[in-house]
């Protein structure tokens, strides 16, 4: 039976239930960044598109957000549930808009194009991203690509929580992550309304936002926040079999 922890600002409740499907999870009240309770947070697993969190952080360390990025490949649909932005080869978007395509609609072509533009090649970007992560203290993280399709892109809840710390310190990235109906614009004027990969944006009065990921190897993954008034709660899990149910279960426990 899977264990999960619930953290409120000044109280801790421990439950055991089958409602949480994930083997590695972290729920924390964002009061001064303190982690109250954690479970299996050091377990290393494939992180799927949560890889893009690291890529976004590294990208903004290399370039201003108004830099134009040329799309170096055509977006290919991965199936009927794919939310990738329909970007076109050789179109140009600002880095800010490319990060929106990466973080909101999880567009892999945007990740690869940013990597090639900023580092000359994706392999060089990934190599330098690994060095960047080591400097940031992401000790259990290894990057095999810029987007997370490779099962060799791995991390732990502990390290992903450190990445989210860096996101919180960057208001521009947080603004992107919090976007509800973002619209990006190509240099020649074509606009695209991005589709979010996160279906659950509000639950029991909480505003939900964050980065999703899913592959066969990684299962379903999430790193984000549930916000109610001035209180912000961090929810991170890897290897879930039901992302939406797990987010709901986390919020249900915060409400108790």
Beta bridge partner(s), residue 213: 221
Positive or negative, the CA dihedral 123, 124, 127, 133 is: negative
Q: Which residue has the higher pLDDT, 177 or 17?
A: 177
Look up residue 107 and give its DSSP letter.
Answer: -
Helices (H), the chain: 51-62, 95-103, 108-119, 122-136, 157-168, 171-178, 243-255
* Cα–Cα distance, 85 to 95 (Å, whole number): 15
Give Cβ neighbours of residue 73 (< 8 Å, ≥ 6 apart): 89, 109, 112, 113
Question: At which residue do the structure tokens 């299962």 appear?
Answer: 219
Q: Are 217 and 10 in contact (CB under 8 A)?
A: no
Give the pTM: 0.88
Mean pLDDT of the chain, nearest integer:
87
122 within 8 A of 145, measured Cβ to Cβ: yes
Domains in the chain (CATH in brackets) are 3-255 (3.40.710.10)
Q: What is the mean pLDDT of residues 21-40?
A: 60
Can you give the pLDDT at residue 89?
A: 94
The pLDDT of residue 80: 65
Q: pLDDT tens for residues 65-96?
A: 999 999 998 777 666 677 888 999 999 999 99
Q: How far apart are CA 240 and CA 228, in angstroms?
A: 24
The radius of gyration computed from the CA coordinates of the chain, to the nearest angstrom, equals: 17
């Amino acid at each position: 039976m899977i264990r999960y922890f619930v953290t409120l600002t000044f109280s801790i409740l421990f439950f055991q239930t089958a409602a949480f499907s994930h083997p590695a999870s972290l729920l924390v009240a964002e009061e001064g960044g303190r982690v109250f309770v954690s479970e299996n947070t050091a377990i290393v697993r494939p992180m799927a598109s949560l890889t893009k969190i690291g890529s976004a952080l590294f990208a903004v360390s290399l370039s201003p957000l108004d830099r134009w990025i040329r799309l170096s490949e055509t977006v290919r649909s991965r199936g009927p549930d794919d939310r990738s932005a329909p970007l076109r080869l050789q179109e140009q978007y600002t880095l800010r808009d490319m990060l929106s395509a990466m973080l909101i609609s999880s567009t892999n072509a945007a990740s690869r194009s940013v990597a090639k533009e900023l580092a000359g090649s994706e392999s060089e970007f990934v190599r330098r991203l690994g060095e960047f992560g080591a400097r940031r203290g992401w000790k259990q993280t290894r990057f095999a690509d810029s987007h997370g399709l490779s099962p060799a892109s791995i991390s732990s809840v502990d390290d992903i929580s450190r990445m989210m710390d860096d996101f919180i310190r960057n208001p521009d990235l947080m603004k992107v992550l919090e976007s509800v109906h973002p619209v990006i614009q190509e240099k020649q004027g074509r606009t695209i309304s991005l589709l979010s990969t996160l279906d659950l944006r509000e639950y029991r009065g909480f505003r939900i936002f964050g980065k999703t990921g899913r592959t066969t190897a990684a299962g379903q993954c999430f790193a984000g926040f549930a916000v109610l008034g001035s209180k912000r709660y961090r929810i991170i899990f890897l290897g879930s079999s039901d992302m939406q149910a797990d987010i709901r279960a986390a919020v249900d426990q915060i409400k108790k």
